[in-house]
Amino acid sequence: MAAIDIEGITRQFGQTEVLKRIDLAIGDGEFMTLVGPSGCGKSTLLRIVAGLEQQTGGAVRIDGQPVDGLRPRDRDLAMVFQSYALYPHLTVAENIAVPLRMRRLASHQRWPLIGPLMPGTRRQTRDIAAQVMATAAMLGIEHLLSRRPGQLSGGQRQRVALGRAMVRKPRAFLMDEPLSNLDAKLRVHMRTEIAQLHRRLGTTFLYVTHDQAEAMTMSDRIAVMMDGAILQVDSPDRVYDDPACIRVAEFIGSPR
């Protein structure tokens, strides 16, 4: 069974059909990259999977269960965006802990939570500290836990954002161009880090980028998207060696 099953998803904005019956199945533990030029509909599709946006037609299933109507936070997916969206007034440790504290909030209290966090029992506080520490250690940012986002480099901030996504141990990660705000050298480095993280966690990833090289180096499979349609889903090698059509070939950069 697929971890994430995208079935016949369509999305219209006014008269424009931005997603044209998208089918895509992402296997359990798979690193799937959705790659395509800017404006082809990648973010819209990811936001629909996350529950941040409604499709016009079709369904999304997670572990076989339809998730229509489930709120984003009830889908057990972690989103990482290109803008880090860290809380500037909280420390790194507090930023990473936010999803753990959110879980304990009563359901009538709404996201986003920016004010003071609910105090917990001493035991809960200890558990949270331990989870934050383990997550930070995995990302090599243990020494930064008491800093605030303003005192971090771009790469460090992106690691904190990853930590905040990881700490809840989500069913899957959805990442939308998480590296595009970083400079070229750091971007290449973070590719390797994310690929390693995927191997260590063994969690399902649905990763969005317009950068072919990024897609080719990190993914188990890539889905090449253009104009609201997926043209090919294959391993990076196969997409490179045997593109489904000239548009894929041109985009991936191996004209034949």
Nearer to Mg ion, 43 or 232 (CB): 43
Q: How far is the CB of 187 from Mg ion (least distance, A)?
A: 16
Residue 209 CA, distance from chain mean position: 11
Q: DSSP secondary-structure letter at 178?
A: T
Binding mask 28-47 for ligand ADP (x = CB under 6 A): --------x-xxxxxxx---
Q: How far is CA 134 from CA 6, 86, 157, 172, in A?
A: 33, 19, 17, 19
Q: DSSP secondary-structure letter at 120?
A: -
Picked from Mg ion, ligand ADP, none, the partner binding residue 252 (CB below 5 to 8 A depending on kind) is none
Picked from Mg ion, ligand ADP, none, the partner binding residue 44 (CB below 5 to 8 A depending on kind) is ligand ADP
Q: What does DSSP say about strands 31-35 and 204-209: parallel, antiparallel, or unpaired?
A: parallel
Q: How far is the CB of 13 from Mg ion (least distance, A)?
A: 14
Which residue, judged by CB position, is nearest to Mg ion in the bound state?
A: 43
Q: How far is the CB of 158 from ligand ADP (least distance, A)?
A: 19
Check binding of 82 to ligand ADP (CB under 6 A).
no
Two tokens, residue 104: 């304990």
Which helix (DSSP H) or strand (DSSP E) does residue 140 occupy? none
Picked from ligand ADP, Mg ion, none, the partner binding residue 4 (CB below 5 to 8 A depending on kind) is none
Distance CA 135, CA 140 (A): 9
Binding site for Mg ion (CB under 5 A): 43
Distance CA 233, CA 248 (A): 11
Q: Return residues touching ligand ADP (CB under 6 A).
A: 13, 18, 36, 38-44
